[in-house]
Amino acid sequence: GAGVSQSPRYKVAKRGQDVALRCDPISGHVSLFWYQQALGQGPEFLTYFQNEAQLDKSGLPSDRFFAERPEGSVSTLKIQRTQQEDSAVYLCASSQGQEQGGYTFGSGTRLTVV
Amino acid sequence: AQTVTQSQPEMSVQEAETVTLSCTYDTSESNYYLFWYKQPPSRQMILVIRQEAYKQQNATENRFSVNFQKAAKSFSLKISDSQLGDTAMYFCAFMKPLFGANSKLTFGKGITLSVRP
């Protein structure tokens, strides 16, 4: 596609519910990042994939968060047993090679846990 | 660990005027990259400008330029001839490059810029 596509754009979940957020990067992009952006804050790193390999998951806040990219293209961020503090915008970014920070971001999924 | 500080929560500027957004950072690295990203209401982060730490010359992209002071660990963004479309949140970000792989960005808290007609 022309850009990084994320779905759904908005998600409301009841506390305790599991959610899955999807990121469809630009075709051929090797690297994929997930960030969490709380209201009024800057994005914070969650995890990084190079193709299907998850090279860094140091930013995942708890074992309730899980990300996968099984075929090296589409990625899914799963949050189990959602809590109110999980409410945030989840941004995905991708790049073709070593872009040195010039990543293409999607428009994010706004998750609200009620 | 690196930190990025944006101490101004919001700023306002008249259309066609110039505005400067401030950013400071802390790192022990000698080689790194600094960025300014723009986030409009659509939420998509858009790269505005990038500076490599080993380059002394300040980066420029059309109406956007930076004042990079490595010793002071300061990285400000100047927007000239402000336009209504510049209204957005602006984030300063830091990246330590890795060999053979891409690297994560560390963002500041951001600043809300409003351009008045």
User: pLDDT tens digit string along B83-92?
Assistant: 999 999 999 9
Which residues of chain B lie closer than 8 angstroms to A100, CB-CB? 33, 50, 52, 95, 97, 102
Q: Is the pLDDT of residue A99 over 70?
A: no
A109-113 and A10-13 as β-strands: parallel, antiparallel, unpaired?
A: parallel
More confident residue, A99 or A25: A25
Q: Is the pLDDT of residue A104 over 60?
A: yes
Give kind and range of the element (H or E) at residue A46: strand A44-50
Q: How many CB atoms lie within 10 A of CB B18?
A: 12
**Residue-level pLDDT, tens digit, chain B, 117 residues:** 889 999 999 999 999 999 999 999 999 988 899 999 999 998 999 999 999 999 889 999 999 999 999 999 999 999 999 999 999 999 999 998 877 677 899 999 999 999 999
Which residues of chain A lie closer than 8 angstroms to B43, CB-CB? 89, 91, 107-108, 110
- Using CB atoms, which residue from A89, A91, A99 is nearest to B102? A99
Q: What is the pLDDT of residue A97?
A: 74
Q: What is the three-class DSSP state of A114?
A: coil
- Using CB atoms, which residue from B101, B105, B109 is nearest to A101? B105
pLDDT above 70 coverage of chain B, percent: 99
Q: Which of B66, B104, B106 to mutate to probe the A interface, most A CBs <10 Å?
A: B104
Q: Could you read off the pLDDT of A15-42 as tens digits, one per residue? A: 999 999 999 999 999 999 999 999 999 9
Q: Is the pLDDT of residue A5 over 80?
A: yes
Q: What is the three-class DSSP state of A69?
A: coil
pLDDT mean across residues, chain B: 94
Q: How far apart are CA B4 and CA B26, in angstroms?
A: 7
